[in-house]
Amino acid sequence: MNGYMKVWLKRRMIPQQWQAAKEVIKKIEHAGYEAFIVGGAVRDYYLQKENNDVDIATSALPEEIQTIFSQTIDVGIAHGTVIVLDCGEPIEVTTYRTESTYSDHRRPDTVEFVRNLQEDLKRRDFTMNAMALSQTAEFIDYYDGRQHIDSKMICAVGEPGQRFEEDALRMLRAVRFAAQLHFSIEDNTFEAIRQNAASIEYVAIERIQVELSKIFSSAHSAFGIEYMEKTTLSHYLYGEFNSSDWTRFASDDRQVGWAYFCLVNGSDLNLLTKYRCSNKDRLFVKTVLDAYESLLDGISHVDLMRFDSMVLKTACQFVIWQNHTLDVVYEELVARKSTLPLQHAHELAITGKDLLVWSSKKRGSWIKQALDAAVEAVLNGEVQNDKQQLKEWFYAFHDEG
């Protein structure tokens, strides 16, 4: 380990997760077993990127981990995972394991615990994700992960075709890492993805949704989408993926990504159903797309009040990313919004009850319509937000006197 690395390690090891992981490893070693930090945390450590999701792999069996530590949560003993709580932060500890045959292209038929680290690293997807780090910051790197990171390459562990046949999601993960890190997919790995692309259809849609979210919200989403086209993975997934639509897109927010994906697919909200996105996602996407339409049509005062600043900002960005001309810049919109006589419909000086008192009509949908009309009239400056003035406005316009 060089001096720079040591200094950096000191700085980076401070986050509580890393400290806790180190303590967990020491305790496991003290009990006579091996333990290492593995997976994404090691990759990000080498890349000098923050990663607080520190996973540990160990030669100890789950039951042995449970005897070493007093506070554990059994989250998936069948798969070898126990969460250790003894060291301040919850740390996931998983027993070294190998995976047998995969008959369904997505899950191993059986999982077998082993005592050998190399066996465990061998089942991992890419060389950069197949490294281990000891608690003294020594790398265990059987598959040249660091070298591939240095040359910005995503490279399958072992024979790529076989690895993608086992678990087809790995193909989309390759694209996701390319998009996040701006790395290339190594030739053999790339070719194997092209050949196996159709089997992405075997993968559970929720897992695909997670990877697509990460591609959309990555630093190089257009680059990732270009890989989806080049590998032909895009042919087997719902919706169109055209990198040319994404060249100007830039957001680290997955919901903004999904909204944009729907937009470039003709504002097709059904895509959210197909990818099993949440109702919260759907509401956000619908609102942003409504705001986008409204901006293109020349936004009304009512819409300016109804859409919050984040939605307006996103919709303005969509107009720009779609190469349309934006009549009004976002800052101007926000300034205009702040001077509206109402910031929210419920600031209106009258309620439905007032209307019922003033009118001879019975309750009905007319109340909501009249209140909406009153909000619009206030926002358009036709009447002031004052009870007496609104009463006069109501009589004049509804002929109820």
Among the listed residues 74, 111, 76, 84, the one whose alpha carbon sits nearest the alpha carbon of residue 96? 111
Residue nearer to ligand ATP on the CB measure, 93 or 288: 93
Q: CA-to-CA distance for 191 and 275, rounded, in angstroms?
A: 26
- Binding residues for ligand ATP, per CB under 6 A? 39-40, 51, 53, 124-125, 129-130, 167, 169-170
Interface map 31-50 toward Mg ion (x if CB under 5 A): ---------x----------
**84 to 143, contacts with Mg ion by CB under 5 A?**
none
Residue nearer to ligand ATP on the CB measure, 169 or 374: 169
Q: Does 332 bind Mg ion (CB under 5 A)?
A: no
Phi, then psi, of 119 in degrees rounded to 5: -60, -40
Q: Among Mg ion, ligand ATP, none, what does residue 167 contact (CB within 5–8 Å per kind)?
A: ligand ATP
Residue nearer to ligand ATP on the CB measure, 105 or 337: 105
Write the DSSP symbol of residue 202: G
Q: Between the CA atoms of 261, 265, 269 and 274, what dihedral angle is there, to the nearest 10 degrees? A: -80
Single-letter residue type at 151? S
Minimum CB distance to ligand ATP, residue 148 (Å): 14
Q: Among Mg ion, ligand ATP, none, what does residue 129 contact (CB within 5–8 Å per kind)?
A: ligand ATP
Q: Among Mg ion, ligand ATP, none, what does residue 22 contact (CB within 5–8 Å per kind)?
A: none
Minimum CB distance to ligand ATP, residue 54 (Å): 10
Largest CA distance in the chain: 90
Q: Among Mg ion, ligand ATP, none, what does residue 281 contact (CB within 5–8 Å per kind)?
A: none
What is the residue whose two structure tokens read 């307006």? 312
Residue nearer to ligand ATP on the CB measure, 17 or 129: 129
Q: CA-to-CA distance for 394 and 361, rounded, in angstroms?
A: 13
DSSP 232-281: TGGGGSSS---HHHHSS---S-HHHHHHHHHHHTTS-THHHHHTT--HHH
Number of DSSP helices (H) and strands (E) in the chain, helices first: 21, 11
Q: CA-to-CA distance for 222 and 226, rounded, in angstroms?
A: 6
Give the residue at shortest CB distance from ligand ATP: 40
Member of 53, 112, 293, 347 binding Mg ion (CB under 5 A)? 53
Q: Among Mg ion, ligand ATP, none, what does residue 169 contact (CB within 5–8 Å per kind)?
A: ligand ATP
Residue nearer to ligand ATP on the CB measure, 179 or 277: 179
Minimum CB distance to ligand ATP, residue 302 (Å): 41
Query: What is the distance in angstroms between the CA of the first residue and the CA of the last residue of the chain?
Result: 87
Q: CA-to-CA distance for 243 and 228, rounded, in angstroms?
A: 9
Q: Among ligand ATP, Mg ion, none, what does residue 124 contact (CB within 5–8 Å per kind)?
A: ligand ATP
Q: Among Mg ion, ligand ATP, none, what does residue 125 contact (CB within 5–8 Å per kind)?
A: ligand ATP
Contact 274, 205 (CB under 8 A): yes
Using CB atoms within 10 A of its CB, is residue 71 exposed (0-12), middle (13-18) or buried (19+)? Answer: exposed
Residue nearer to Mg ion on the CB measure, 172 or 288: 172
Q: Which residues pair with 184 in a beta bridge?
A: 153
Residue nearer to ligand ATP on the CB measure, 22 or 176: 176
Q: CA-to-CA distance for 129 and 41, rounded, in angstroms?
A: 9
Minimum CB distance to Mg ion, residue 237 (Å): 23
Residue nearer to Mg ion on the CB measure, 58 or 180: 180
Minimum CB distance to ligand ATP, residue 236 (Å): 17
Residue nearer to ligand ATP on the CB measure, 39 or 80: 39
Contact 119, 157 (CB under 8 A): no
Q: Which residue ranges make up the site for Mg ion (CB under 5 A)?
A: 40, 53
